[in-house]
Amino acid sequence: MCDVCQFAVLLAVIFVLELSAGLAGYLLKDGLQDYLVNRLNVSMSEYSTNTEIAKTIDFTQERLQCCGLEVYDDWQGKIPSGTPGTETYDGNLVIPKSCCVDTCSTLYGNGCLPRVEYVIGRSAVMLASAAVSIALLQLLGVMFACSLGRTIRHTKTERERRRWELRERLLRVNMSQSSALVPLSIVVLLLLIVGSTQVRAQHDSTFKGWSGQIVSNDTVKQVYHHDQTVAFVELGPGKTLQNCELIEIVNAVELEQAFRMLRPVAQPINITFDEMFELMDQCYAFDSPLESANMASRIRDTVSLGIVPGTKWCGTSDIAATYHDLGKEKDVDKCCRTHDLCPVKVRSYRTRYNLTNENFFTKSHCSCDDRFWKCLKSRNTPLASLMGNVYFNIMRVPCVEETDTTCDKATCRSKQFRKARQFFL
């Protein structure tokens, strides 16, 4: 009985702290925006004298496709003529080259401040919503614990005491497991927001390439490619799968590097999305002798990079050395790895297929999201449930789907973003 009360009090304290943190984060976002405006004005004035500030401003304007605070005229008088990395526009306006679309005859029309405020606002709303959602669930836990305590107090008799003592021991075990999941829930929600800053600074995950590992010299080696994924497979007698390694491709340079590594082994073959999707299913189901669960990563190292503790592929990026490198939560990590290597996706703050992703998370093909949902459901572990709830219930990440090709004067588009359909129940 006492343990139940202590659990209720502990959960209530956590509820108040989380609710306060979520509301404080949301209410303070306006102050952060005012501070940001002031710092941007100061930084623009130091563009010509501080190379680090100049690089940061150029990176921001290129990634967000913007110029100045609210309009490009904000650069008036900020930069002396002749400053490296600048151009003169319209006769007398000196601007950074990062303001130019292709050539400096055309500038980005949007200011950077509205776009930065949009990113901050979305992050603050998501953080507050996530904190409040978890806090409400814990409030239900407090109510349940109090109700259970009253039931125990009113119904316990001398004859039933032994049975209730046994039930209380079991309840304490469940409480300890639930309490252990509370900080992990907060970590998963926050690292997706905070960790995204680290990932953006690194620009992209390090290209892994092919590990060069094979299981036998007697197997048949084949290399397949579709869009953003290259697959290396080894086949044994009867075309049985003996080894599989998937390589993520971000751009044409990485594709050429991957092909250069693999051409001595096998000539690459282009396949369709459906064929690659089926091959990835086979690779997931195959237990490779090269796979190992590496437990060396420290929690603070994984969290700082936006990775869920116990995994190497679940988060805003990955920290795996090779395709075969997995965290100690191997089953869930394999689900995340297959989802990360989806051949069709639009990475955060990038444009692909004439679709621009302005969120901090990657938007993958809807078929990859469906497979991710089924994979987490089949694991049936606390971490799998946590990942499923965060991705499909709280964040509600949109996906990429095929559509009839539509063209206008500027673009042709064969794909579109679709709202998430499934809930992780």
Question: Bigger pLDDT: 21 or 298?
Answer: 21
Question: Bigger pLDDT: 162 or 383?
Answer: 383
Tokens of 374: 């089924």
Q: Dihedrals φ, ψ of 309, to 5°?
A: -55, 140
Which range among 31-40, 196-205, 213-222, 273-282 shows the weakest confidence by mean pLDDT? Answer: 196-205
Residues acting as catalytic residues: 339, 369
Distance from C-alpha of 234 to C-alpha of 245, rounded to nearest angstrom = 9
What is the pLDDT at residue 146?
A: 73
What is the pLDDT at residue 176?
A: 44
Tokens of 279: 């091959």
What is the pLDDT at residue 26?
A: 63
Question: Bigger pLDDT: 421 or 301?
Answer: 421
CA-based max dimension of the chain = 95
Share of the chain above pLDDT 70, in %: 74
Average pLDDT over residues 328-335: 93
pTM of the model: 0.54
What is the pLDDT at residue 182?
A: 45
pLDDT tens digits, residue range 185-214? 454 555 555 444 444 444 445 788 999 999
Q: What is the 3-state secondary structure (H, E, C) of the chain?
A: CHHHHHHHHHHHHHHHHHHHHHHHHHHCHHHHHHHHHHHHHHHHHCCCCCHHHHHHHHHHHHHHCCCCCCCHHHHCCCCCCCCCCEEEECCCEEEEHHHECCCCCCECCCCHHHHHHHHHHHHHHHHHHHHHHHHHHHHHHHHHHHHHHHHHHHHCCCCCHHHHHHHHHHHHHHHHHHHHHHHHHHHHHHHHHHHHHHHHHHCCCCCCCCCCCCCCCCCEEEEEEECCEEEEEEECHHHCEEEEEEEECCCHHHHHHHHHHHCCCCCEEECCHHHHHHHHHHHHHCCCCCCEECCCCCHHHHHHCCECCCCCCCECCCCCCCCCEECCCHHHHHHHHHHHCCCCEECCCEEECCEEECCCCCEEEHHHHHHHHHHHHHHCCHHHHHHHHHHHHHCCCCEEEEEEEEECCCCEEEEEEECCCCCCC
